[in-house]
Structure 1
Amino acid sequence: MRRLSKPITELQHDYEIVVVGSGYGASIAASRMARCGKKVCLLEKGKEFLPGEFPSTLPEAMSEMQFTKGKTHFGSHNGLYEFIAGDDINVFKGCGLGGTSLVNANVSIEPEDRVFQDEHWPAEVRNTLPALKEGMAHAREMLRPNPYPEGKRGYPTLEKTTGMKKSAAKMGETFRLLDINVTFEDQKNPSGVFQKACNNCGDCVTGCNHTSKNTTQMTYLPDAYNHGAEIYTEVGVRYIERAGNKWVIWFEVYGVGREKFNAPDLFITADMVFLGAGAIGSTEILLRSAQQGLSLSGMLGKRFTGNGDVLGFGYNNDNPVHGVGLGDRVKGVANVGPCITSVIDMRNRPVLDDGMTLEEGSVPGPIGSILVSSLVPLSRLLSKNADTGFADFLKGKWRELKSMFGGPYRGAIDNTQIYLVMTHDDGNGSMSLEHDNPSISWPDVGKQKIFNKVSGKLKDATTALGGTFVVNPTWTPLLNYDLVTVHPLGGCVMGDDATRGVVDHKGQVFANASGKELHPDLFVMDGSIIPRPLGTNPLLTISGLAERNAKIIATANGWPLHYDFSPVSGEETPSTVGIEFTETMKGFFSTAEKQDYAKAFEQGKAQSSPFEFTLTIQSQDVDRFVKDPDHEAGMAGTVKAPSLSASPLTISAGRFNLFVPEPSASYKKKMKYEMKLHSKEGKTFFFKGYKDVQDNKGIDLWKDTTVLYITVYEGDNDQSPIKGMGILKIEPEDLAIQVTTMKAVHATKNTDKLHAISAFGKLFAGALWDTYFVSKLKEIFHRN
């Protein structure tokens, strides 16, 4: 599969449309707006994982976990598995190119129509339900949900499904196989991505390494890419603001070491913005935007819901379940199956909010070992078993011993059914910022009566299998009945006006605390706009709303939107290993002196006119970089220059050349820097600088490699009038930090990482040797 994301050094300064996030809503916005012929840029906070790169062991999974609680944050800020601990409810979500679709259970299911008659929905949604149904149909065309092919094409009947049938029969409830976004035949999908048939490994929620999940990474994002959208990863949007007729999107770049230099945020501009960072992310961005002065509804952060999620375990049943994923252990078709395949559907009750869906699941292989150390003791503390006699009791204990000594694929854990229930909570949670981190508050949510009903149904399902029901360990009196949700919704909810919602029926953001005035061309398109729990898995509803709203927006602007699939041409380019590092240089700059660098430096120093940049220099192919006589790489970053702008400037079209030989003498070389500088005020400057690397009298290697002579032009090229000149230098402490930022790009093997660093090091050292030592030897030889 081709890599979809572009290097940050290719990010342009201005776009027609910027999409933030890459889950269902965001990827649909990118796909549909790109199909309208718009210049689209998508910014994703997480990394891009190609199939085969997702964690497959516990240490790998642990390295991708991040945890936030108030001002406390552990782990990488863009780790794949994101946990947010709130008051009374906790959230798990995905952070990567594909959003939570990378780590969800793939279930495509429609809520009851009654859900959309709730008055929390805008009248335009309640009264035009066919438009939402049409949106869901378009989503199905892309995501291709289908049921697990039980007994067909070599797929066996799953033990967990057999258990669910038995539980449903005992409970007198309806059982059926679910439509899931999983591929069960080798095929090229409509977006041109070849997908392999599911191998039933059960590792869906740590990331599919077999290309079988129909995530947005496999569907909508390649479609956006095929229609010209530019995709950038490890870009975390902080906030947005309005400047003239443009939106300014402020962001930070992860993984390049800018934080080590305390570098400022970067920005780009756009005519139109779609926020699709999810219920937590989009709300978080707008909360920060409000702090920066953007006028918004007082409903921002309100109506948060966990979609009535409840997690439970039917522990140590009488028969095997095979509910722990196998990962790389599997060969051929295994018998775990996709994470969720079936449901006991207990909706369509006389009272809507009494309904629920009960689904089975699997725990992914990378964290399967944790079940042994957790479920065995929890089964004693938080449950009552359903053993019918002493013999049954002994069999259960024997199974526990087999798990304790043989691992999660034997005994009690192998006989454990994992349950996920969705129902209807009251949707009255709220989100705010605490020390700049998202914070969730929802007093006593777990004590709502519906969750006792859920607990009773889970006990019934487990009793039918002869097991022990174990509740989610946080849903206990000891922990104040805290809940965990994998389906956070709300925070930027729809409403008829700003007193009832943050956005209108098409996701456009209200511009005041009341009334119907809208911010021009600012939309939210994800689960945050859903104003109430759905009572079942939300991905199809989120996708259907996004499809509906994209069509409304395109029609309102007169943009033709087509849904046909054209043949995807072009071969995938082989992956290459690159090199990158980040550097900071500081000095002084004068707009008064335009001929002499030294004089400009001294005048800038006397006039307190500093100039500083923090740049990430990146080559996508280290071998090509070494062989290229110009040794050209891209640059991205920021400039702080008060004489140009009071705010940091962001660069674009940055180009760096390492050790370019002088035509007059090959041992004389230059390091060249060229880039455009963009100010918040809308001005563009052109920056040109060089390091003069040549062997003069004395020991000057340090000076030559750490002193940069700069010229800034009033325009977008070096033919524009000169604005000013100066000199920048690398401080020793900054150079020490710079060394720690050097790393290989797109290298998955240690040998590739070592090769990239070694190739760059040899080039750098060889050029210095040629300049400073070979020239000396030649001089000595000629003298003698």
Structure 2
Amino acid sequence: MTALSLTFKETMSGYFALGTGDAAEGAQRGKQNGTTLAIHVDVGIDDLDRFINDPEHPGSLTGTIDFPPLGMGIEALTGVFNLFKPTNNPDMTYMVYELAFQHLGEDYYLAGHKEIRDDSGFDLWSDTTTLYTTLHQGKDKSGPVVGAGILTLGIKQLADLIASIDVPNADGPLAKASAVEKFGRFFAGKLWDTYVIPKFGRQHFDKETDDTLHYDVIVIGSGFGGAVTACRLAEKGMKVCILERGRRWDAKDYPRGPGDAWWWSHEEPAKCNGWIDIRFYKHMAVAQGCGVGGGSLIYANIFVEAERFAFESGWPPEITYETLKPYYEKTGKMLNVQEVPDNQWPPKMKLMKDAAERCGYRARFRKMPLAVNFDPEFSYDRPDAFDDKHSKPFVNPFGLEQGTCVHCGNCDIGCQVKARNTLDLNYIPLAEKHGAVVKPLHLVRRITPLHGKTGYRVDFDVIDPDAQRLIPGHLNAKKLILAAGTMGTNELLLRCRDQYGTLPDLSDMLGVGWSSNGDFLTPALYKDRQISPTRGPIMTSAIDFLDGFFRKQRFWVQDGGFPNLIKDALQDLSNDHDFGHFFSALKSLNQGSDPLSAVMPWFGQAVDASDGVLKLSRSWIPPFRHKLELEWNVKNSEGAVQALIDMHKTLSESTGGEAVVPPSWEVLKDLITPHPLGGCRMGTGIKDGVVDHKGEVFGYPGLYVADGAIIPRALGLNPARTIAALAERIADFIEP
């Protein structure tokens, strides 16, 4: 795809004098002597996206110069144009205008810059229209200064500039308008950041200058990457701090009622800092857990190894299934992986096996390895079998009290009997035992390399839920592990590269190769079969098509489930609600008391194209917020997802059910995933990856990524164990 270019014309003029190197003095002398200098330039931007995203990528400048002591209409055939070029002052950027020309066979170089910074008063107009200019003898500005002055842009000249904007290679008026809008949004947004936010906006960052190393390692995030690396590095005797944006949840605080803390808001985290964060992008929604334990708080307990085919391409040669095998085993022991005992299969698990057998796929049926503690004596035949009183308490190897599973179905919204082996019950307490510090409600905003020493500064906001406010702070460490989840890690690094400019040398591959991991759920309705998907662990088994047997697409089918809370909500809604007749109809699908008992939520993952791209953009109206965008072409993954859906239909029909494919897919081709991967892919170098096989970011020693973002392709199955195994391996390479 050809990069869009953009051009415009600009004229600036002002008093100028020879014999001085100071712009203000040259302007004063020029006014006294009546000498002026004017430039009439054509500005060219060859690649608009690169110009916007890389402050070091210049535009071109050509034109003519009018300066009576040297001549009128002097041609300048080469030059440089920059907007918002960083300077040594973090609060000031330059707009750069530089022109090379000749006079009487001598080389000259006119170098000008506008100083974009916020001073007292409202100085935006003067800053953006005032060009401090020096004239050098020679081919560049390293030559001796022979003159100086100040040029300005008038209102008429500004109007002419705007009228002259063009996009020469735009494919039609809509593409031209889009490019002009993008440039205007960029320009206005940068000015907003400089002049409006310091006066009226909240200060995001702690202003204190401090290079003290507070920790050996800071870990951002406490999910399967963060908890594992923090634990292992603390065991090595390193001083570790975990920064987690969410709360430290206890069973008594799990959300249950409609007024509880369910939601996390990226826009208002001080007000909404609850259990789950759901973000909506074009044709894709992503669900993420929020709290100490990260994604383990909301995942379905599936702790399965990736299959060998997943490592056949896309990875550095050091990463293979055999490489990860000892780490897979290590993580399985930490999370006490088990299968559902044969004497307590829930109805949906029996349906899975029945469907596999009826369709000739008996050998493909698999019981899932689950990070759940089971009681061999549990029985569905007991009175009140699913009551919490049947959970058997015990103390786990890390000194914490847990219980056994009572098949209540609340896995995704917090197990009140603590039968699930979430990370806050194993890796994290083990890390704390070895001195690690966990800081919940710390939302990281920016990463900056420390000046003059090895290490990184981490700026964050401390969330005060009671006062509903954010308090800026920072900490420094010699090493930094970024494990904020696939979406959080990509966004933070993109902001540090493209918004704040603190990590400008990050790979161009950042954000590339994003995958939804092909997640899809198809509900099926049964007239004569009791499924009760609110009973049992949220998932228990799979039918494996990852060998590409069906339409040469790799996927597997799982039995989904719903939290028991949904059943209770439907019961209440069917009794007393404005739309009670609708919920009563759903309840009437069966004769029992469970309004969902006739529904089978067929679930699964597929190997999609893994070709999504995450980018940072800005809104086009004040306050010009930067936001994460996802470019994802459904056509490239449609075959894999559709194969999974069609298998859902086949399995439903074989067992007397009717699959109901959601209109969100049938009509809109929209998806939702709790398993996003990629964007910070492992590679052999900076041209094909963001991190190396050890998780270390190319170009930034001591900065690591250890979460799903480093996985370079879809796995086609639940990724938690692979993320944890990679984190175990990354920690092995990090030394004090």
Q: TM-score range by the shorter chain?
A: 0.5 to 0.7
Aligned partner of 2:419 among 184, 191, 212: 212
Does residue 104 (structure 1) correspond to residue 104 (structure 2)? The answer is no
Question: Counterpart of 1:253 in 2: which secondary structure?
Answer: strand
Letter in 1 for 2:615: S
**2:600 corresponds to which residue?**
417
- Give the ranges of 4+ consecutive aligned residues of structure 1 lying more than 6 Å apart after TM superposition: 72-75, 370-375, 405-409
Q: Could you say which residue in structure 2 is the equivalent of 1:234? A: 441
Instruction: Give the number of aligned pairs.
Output: 488
Distance 1:104 1:409, change over 3 A: farther
Q: Distance in 2 between matches of 1:23 and 1:353?
A: 33
Partner of 1:459: 649
Once the two structures are superposed, residues 336-376 of structure 1 have per-residue CA deviations (whole angstroms, 9 ceiling, x without a partner) of 1111111111222369961211111211123346678999x
Aligned residue in 2 for 1:160: 348
Which position in structure 1 is the counterpart of 2:56? none
CA contact (8 A) 1:35 1:227 kept: yes
Distance apart, 1:311 and its partner CA? 1.2
Judge conservation of contact 2:527–2:589 (CA < 8 Å) in 1: no
| Alignment TM-score, normalising by the size of structure 1 | 0.59
The one of 52, 64, 69 aligned to 2:252 = 52
Show the counterpart of 2:506. 296
Q: Give CA-to-partner distance per residue, 1:220-253, whole Å, 9 cap, x none.
A: 0011011110001000011101022220001001
Between 1:414-423 and 1:363-372, the stretch displaced more is: 363-372
Contact 2:510 2:679 in 1 (8 A): yes
Q: CA deviation at 1:165?
A: 1.2
Aligned Cα RMSD in Å?
2.7
Quick one: which of 460, 475, 478 aligns to 1:271?
478
Q: Does the aligned pair in 2 maintain the 1:346–1:355 contact within 8 Å?
A: yes
- What CA distance in whole angstroms lies between the structure 1 residues aligned with 2:253 and 2:592? 24
> Within the alignment, does 1:527 sit opposite 2:725 as a pair?
no
1:19 and 2:219 aligned: yes
- Evaluate the alpha carbon distance shift between residue 159 and residue 423 of structure 1 in structure 2; reply closer, same or farther with a 3 A threshold: same
Counterpart of 1:123? Answer: 317
Kindly indicate whether the alpha-carbon contact (under 8 Å) linking 2:554 and 2:716 is maintained by their aligned counterparts in 1: yes
| TM superposition shift of 1:157 | 3.0
How far off is 1:505 after superposition?
A: 0.7
- How has the CA–CA distance of structure 1 residues 112 and 55 changed in structure 2, closer, same or farther, with 3 Å as cutoff? same
Say if 2:339 and 2:368, in contact at 8 Å, map to a contact too.
Answer: yes
CA deviation map 1:426-462 (0-9, x unaligned): 0011212343343322133586212221111000111
2:239 corresponds, among 39, 62, 67, to 39
Give the letter for the 1:485 counterpart: T
Q: Determine if contact 1:51/1:208 at 8 Å carries over to the other structure.
A: yes
Corresponding residue to 1:440 among 630, 635, 643: 630
Find out whether 1:356 has 2:555 as its counterpart. Answer: yes
Give the equivalent residue in structure 2 for 1:427: 610
CA shift at 1:408, angstroms?
Answer: 11
CA separation of 1:206 and 1:75: change in aligned 2, threshold 3 A = farther
Distance across 2 between alignment mates of 1:423 and 1:523: 28
Corresponding letter in the other structure for 1:292: Y
1:590-619 alpha-carbon deviations (Å, 9 max, x no partner) = xxxxxxxxxxxxxxxxxxxxxxxxxxxxxx
8 A contact 1:114–1:352 mirrored in 2? no
- Distance in 2 (CA, whole Å) between partners of 1:418 and 1:110 is 23
Q: Matched residues in 2 for 1:209 and 1:413: separation?
A: 22
Aligned equivalents of 2:334, 2:524: Cα separation in 1: 35
The CA distance in 1 between the partners of 2:661 and 2:571, in whole Å, is 16
* Alignment correspondent of 1:311: 521
What CA distance in whole angstroms lies between the structure 2 residues aligned with 1:445 and 1:272?
A: 41
Decide whether the 8 Å contact of 1:340 with 1:361 is kept in 2: yes
Q: How do residues 120-519 of structure 1 correspond to structure 2 at under 5 angstroms?
A: 120-126=314-320, 129-151=321-343, 156-173=344-361, 174-185=364-375, 186-244=393-451, 245=453, 246-256=455-465, 260=469, 265-290=472-497, 291-293=499-501, 294=503, 295-324=505-534, 336-349=535-548, 354-368=553-567, 403-404=586-587, 410=593, 413-434=596-617, 435-444=625-634, 448-477=638-667, 480-511=668-699, 519=700
Paired residue type of 1:424 = V
Per the alignment, residue 394 of structure 1 pairs with none
Greater Rg, structure 1 or structure 2? 2
Counterpart of 1:78? 273
* Alpha-carbon displacement from aligned partner over 1:749-768 (angstroms, at most 9, x marks no partner): xxxxxxxxxxxxxxxxxxxx
Q: CA deviation at 1:274?
A: 0.3
Q: Is the 8 A contact 1:44 1:233 kept in 2?
A: yes
- Aligned amino acid, residue 163 of structure 1: L
**Residues in 2 aligned to 1:67 and 1:408: alpha-carbon distance in whole angstroms:** 40
Question: Which string of whole-angstrom CA distances, capped at 9 and with x for unpartnered residues, describes residues 609-666 of structure 1?
Answer: xxxxxxxxxxxxxxxxxxxxxxxxxxxxxxxxxxxxxxxxxxxxxxxxxxxxxxxxxx
CA distance in 1, matches of 2:271, 2:663: 26
Alignment of 1:567-716 (within 5 A): none
1:24 alignment partner, SS class: coil
Could you say if the C-alpha distance between residues 76 and 356 of structure 1 is closer, same or farther in structure 2, counting changes exceeding 3 Å? farther
State the distance in 1 between where 2:673 and 2:635 align: 12
**Structure-2 residue corresponding to 1:551:** 732
Look up the SS of the partner of 2:562 in the other structure: coil
C-alpha spacing 1:365/1:255, structure 2 compared with 1 (3 Å): farther
Cα 1:547–1:226 shift into 2, 3 Å? same
CA contact (8 A) 1:88 1:446 kept: no
Q: Secondary structure at the match of 1:496?
A: coil
Q: Report the AA paired with residue 123 of structure 1.
A: P
5+ unaligned residues in a row in structure 2: which ranges?
1-211, 376-392, 575-580, 618-624
| 1:497-543 CA-partner distances (Å, limit 9, x unpaired) | 111111111110012xxxxxxx1111000111000000111011111
1:10-33: CA deviation from partner (whole Å, max 9, x where unpaired): xx9711110010001100011000
Pair 1:59–1:318, CA change in 2 (3 A):
farther
- Alpha-carbon distance in 2 for matches of 1:374, 1:431: 40
1:539 paired residue number: 720
**C-alpha spacing 1:201/1:279, structure 2 compared with 1 (3 Å):** same
SS of the aligned residue for 1:475 comes to helix
CA distance in 2, matches of 1:524, 1:201: 36
| Cα separation, partners in 2 of 1:359 and 1:408, compared to 1, 3 Å | farther
Partner amino acid, structure 2, of 1:453: A
Q: 1:316 to 1:210 in 2, by over 3 A?
A: same
> What are structure 1's unaligned runs of at least 5 residues?
1-11, 325-335, 376-397, 512-518, 560-784
Q: Does 1:65 align with 2:292?
A: no
- Alignment deviations for residues 166-200 of structure 1 (CA, whole Å, 9 cap, x no partner): 11112222212211000114432222222111111
Equivalent-residue separation in structure 1 for 2:590 and 2:262 (angstroms): 23
